[in-house]
């Protein structure tokens, strides 16, 4: 099977996860370049301060230096809709946990915030599963540390874990990147 196609010639769906500074974004960009000749890079980060603006600028610069032609779209909220409309040869989203955080902070005062976010995750997963082009999603593993002290942190951790599991079910490949080394998990998964 080619890297960009699964059986039946359906486009490849890939989830890349790992901790902060694990190398997951760099790996995802390189892998996306194998899947298509150019692509749409969907950035979900919002620049709230100078430090974050510098980080975003560094990411843009590093993408331009790698020689792959990206069209960058900054979309902190309407991610599912953007994926559904995209006609790019390959799509890379970096990152889902920032997208989830954006929504959580917007909805945190609403009594049904978790239910609304679960619905957004389900919508994103359905659109990911139906994508017409190779799609690479980057997310973070956030549940390997201590239990967050504050309620909002616990809600974020729980939603992130459920989101990652939901999208992993739809993915053809799931990579865990640790210390810059990608491991494909679905091929290693133990079957009950």
Catalytic residue among 19, 26, 56, 59: 59
Report residue 20: phi and psi, to 5°.
-60, 135
At residue 166, the 3 state secondary structure works out as helix
At residue 70, the 3 state secondary structure works out as strand
Query: What sign does the dihedral 169-130-141-1 (CA atoms) show?
Result: positive
At residue 110, the 3 state secondary structure works out as coil
Distance in angstroms between the alpha carbons of the first and the last residue of the chain = 25
37 is catalytic: no
* CA–CA distance, 107 with 53 (Å, rounded to integer): 24
Of 153, 96, 91, the closest CA to residue 121 belongs to 96
Residues acting as catalytic residues = 59
């Amino acid at each position: 099977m080619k890297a960009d196609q699964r059986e039946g010639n359906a486009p490849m769906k890939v989830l890349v996860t790992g901790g902060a500074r694990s190398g997951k974004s760099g790996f995802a960009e390189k892998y996306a370049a194998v899947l298509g000749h150019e692509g749409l890079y969907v950035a979900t980060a919002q620049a709230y301060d100078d430090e974050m603006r510098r980080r975003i600028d560094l990411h843009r610069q590093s993408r331009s230096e790698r020689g792959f032609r990206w069209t960058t779209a900054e979309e902190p909220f309407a991610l599912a809709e953007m994926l559904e409309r995209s006609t790019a040869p390959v799509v890379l989203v970096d990152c889902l946990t920032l997208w989830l955080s954006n929504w959580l902070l917007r909805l945190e005062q609403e009594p049904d915030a978790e239910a609304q976010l679960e619905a957004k995750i389900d919508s994103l997963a359905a659109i990911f599963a139906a994508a017409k082009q190779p799609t690479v999603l980057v997310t973070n593993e956030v549940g390997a540390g201590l239990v967050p002290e504050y309620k909002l942190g616990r809600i974020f951790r729980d939603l992130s874990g459920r989101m990652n599991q939901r999208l992993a079910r739809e993915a053809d490949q799931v990579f865990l990147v640790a210390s810059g080394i990608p491991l494909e998990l679905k091929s290693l998964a133990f079957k009950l």
